Structure 1
């Protein structure tokens, strides 16, 4: 039986007896916050999880396998809500996450993906047009003249052609096939869920498998593929979080990991964008073309910037799942936000943490008057309450920006008289 090393996201350090090669592999891959030999116990390694959650198996050919399982601090259902809302804010529905009896990350993920794929395929496989390039003895579609000259040296046959074919072998079905195939290779998928996934793979048997190492095919949400949307967003999450690597010493690492930093940042920024739609203006995620210096050599990229109807920046925010502290206080997050405020000409900036990782407070910067707010979002509440809290935060940000803007204008008028 494969030993299971159980850790908790950002939990305490634990010591486990491990083969030296496996311990070195864990240290080299750096998906753990800490991985090193235990100085007090020979043959043991001290491990501590950071922000990445999921399950990873490290195995040697013909040797022992070790599974590292990292449990998220938030409930699994809440994690999938954050992921689902980030993928499609307007398509999310309260109560749409049904995890049955599964309360661990990987079994719940496999169950959820299988259920969504089953719903997507109830009306049969989606069909669409796929562009195909091939060598043929009959002209079909369009002749690829440059390719014909390069490959055939003037020979009339075969002919290099490109054509659009109406088929089920399209990007959407390839993504579903790839997600099912990936989940079937991951450790810890329950037998009943594995059996249902195998059934889904049989329904997708004629679909071309994804090529390992290549980027998954792109798809575009339309009215025609609407019944696939939920399944496709989950399939992309599976493929993005999965990895298979061959490590030195003939070790193999196979697993699935979510980075809670990225999950939280995506959710907060997209929820803020949705909450601010009713206030006009526009929102920019990972805002570009912002520089700290006049020479534009130091580039800044805030997580979220809201521009008012005038086109001027009004709100800047960064989503930080966990506070990044240097020695002493204040921490680097506040320095970073101060740089954003100065570059954008704003008198307020907002850091949005998950509750429990930073205090809910504000700091007024000496000699500048800039106010840096630290907000704390409670991820333990139900989705409706969580979105309501984000909505209230958005209104507070906009209200503060309007007050600051009015104050600056009044100050400017006083100085002109």
Structure 2
């Protein structure tokens, strides 16, 4: 069997790899949904066939190996997509390579740990942020306000001690709790390099006055403000770390087994990047963009459809076009006809003359299909289904230029629905 300390390397959407695994570790991987498939290898006893899907990163299975899934997209580009999705206003102004500093690492977890540590260090460069937080406690002297109900319930009206509530100026804020929790999570991930691990431990010491988060509970809420502006890039990346770690599964209705690690879903990341970037670009044309806008296919509202992005006029009232992002290769051989049917459904439901599909790669930057039997209006044109292709190997500036071009195409859509 594969030892717990050994590694298994897979590639995103790559071929299946036969790996020696215990039955427990194999079942844990199969039940977790982390991989596209995990099945016993019929040709080799004690081996499992593992095939990665859209999730990339690293996980440690209980009693099993560390499974590393390498992305097809270069890691520096992957973190550009992530950084843009998390903080578009900042990256939109500066689309150069390295907006999210990943160092020289070409693996997801080391690059992530390096990036988060650098962001935390930048956030704390001018000192640990402090703020006022409401504190409830028992004390020997009165400060703040007396908690009368608690005083009577706990002490039957006797004093001291007194039950009080007051505002404390402290480093135990939501922002510092999130940064500390992210540093601690990264320290537990497999594959964090020694130098990065030492720097993360140092950041944890700097944040020692912040209380640790309870695992499984929701992250504390914070509000962007002038006071925490230097923290915001680090906070957004830290929240991505905390949301992307420790998937759990319940095989056979048993207690959850934790598969510890960090994973990014490239399908979701590409969709987030496309919708956020198009939304920013459309704003330059005075248009609004609504992500995940819910509509219904049928008149009684039983069948929901939810396109990734609906482009509307500036006042938000009139839809102009609909966009769906696809993390796959656009082809001209009919293999992706289902995508065109889906786009036509969106156009039909919204009463539009255009629908747009944006792919992660393709043979041509743009192509369109005019749908038979849909010609209407003074121009005699039918419904057009556009297929756009991005090349994720391109530099960030070129990627954003391609999306601006698509946004200009969307801005030129007719505001009048077909009759």
- Contact 1:76–1:103 under 8 Å retained in 2: yes
Partner of 2:323: 317
Residues 1:251 and 1:283: Cα distance change in structure 2 (over 3 Å): closer
Partner of 1:76: 75
Partner of 1:415: none
RMSD: 2.7
Task: Deviation per CA, 1:175-212: give whole Å up to 9, x if none.
Answer: 11000000000110011111111111111112100110
Residues 1:263 and 1:73: Cα distance change in structure 2 (over 3 Å): same
Equivalent-residue separation in structure 2 for 1:37 and 1:71 (angstroms): 22
Alignment of 1:113 onto 2:113: no
Please state how far the C-alpha of 1:364 moved relative to its aligned partner: 2.9
Which of 161, 166, 177 matches 1:163?
166
Equivalent-residue separation in structure 1 for 2:163 and 2:350 (angstroms): 54
Residues 1:125 and 1:361: Cα distance change in structure 2 (over 3 Å): same
TM-score (norm 1): 0.87
Alignment of 1:370 onto 2:383: yes
1:207 alignment partner, SS class: coil
Equivalent-residue separation in structure 2 for 1:377 and 1:320 (angstroms): 10
Provide the aligned length of Structure 1 versus Structure 2: 398
Residues 1:192 and 1:309: Cα distance change in structure 2 (over 3 Å): closer
Alignment of 1:294 onto 2:279: no
Please state how far the C-alpha of 1:234 moved relative to its aligned partner: 1.1
Residues 1:245 and 1:309: Cα distance change in structure 2 (over 3 Å): closer
Partner of 1:305: 310
Alignment of 1:252-267 (within 5 A): 252-267=258-273
- Contact 2:330–2:362 under 8 Å retained in 1: no
Residues 1:47 and 1:153: Cα distance change in structure 2 (over 3 Å): same
Please state how far the C-alpha of 1:221 moved relative to its aligned partner: 1.6
Equivalent-residue separation in structure 2 for 1:55 and 1:5 (angstroms): 10
Equivalent-residue separation in structure 2 for 1:118 and 1:258 (angstroms): 23
Equivalent-residue separation in structure 2 for 1:34 and 1:86 (angstroms): 28
Moved more, 12-21 or 155-164: 155-164
Partner of 2:12: 9
2:60 alignment partner, SS class: strand
Equivalent-residue separation in structure 2 for 1:278 and 1:88 (angstroms): 17
Please state how far the C-alpha of 1:245 moved relative to its aligned partner: 4.5
- Contact 1:5–1:69 under 8 Å retained in 2: yes
2:44 alignment partner, SS class: coil
Which of 203, 206, 228 matches 2:206?
203
Alignment of 1:382-397 (within 5 A): 382-397=395-410
Partner of 1:54: 57
Residues 1:136 and 1:78: Cα distance change in structure 2 (over 3 Å): same
- Contact 2:347–2:354 under 8 Å retained in 1: yes
Residues 1:309 and 1:101: Cα distance change in structure 2 (over 3 Å): closer
- Contact 1:141–1:164 under 8 Å retained in 2: yes
- Contact 1:21–1:249 under 8 Å retained in 2: no
| Structure 1: unaligned runs, 5 residues or longer | 413-417
| Structure 2: unaligned runs, 5 residues or longer | 375-381
2:168 alignment partner, SS class: strand
Which of 231, 255, 261 matches 1:228?
231
2:340 alignment partner, SS class: helix
Residues 1:178 and 1:365: Cα distance change in structure 2 (over 3 Å): same
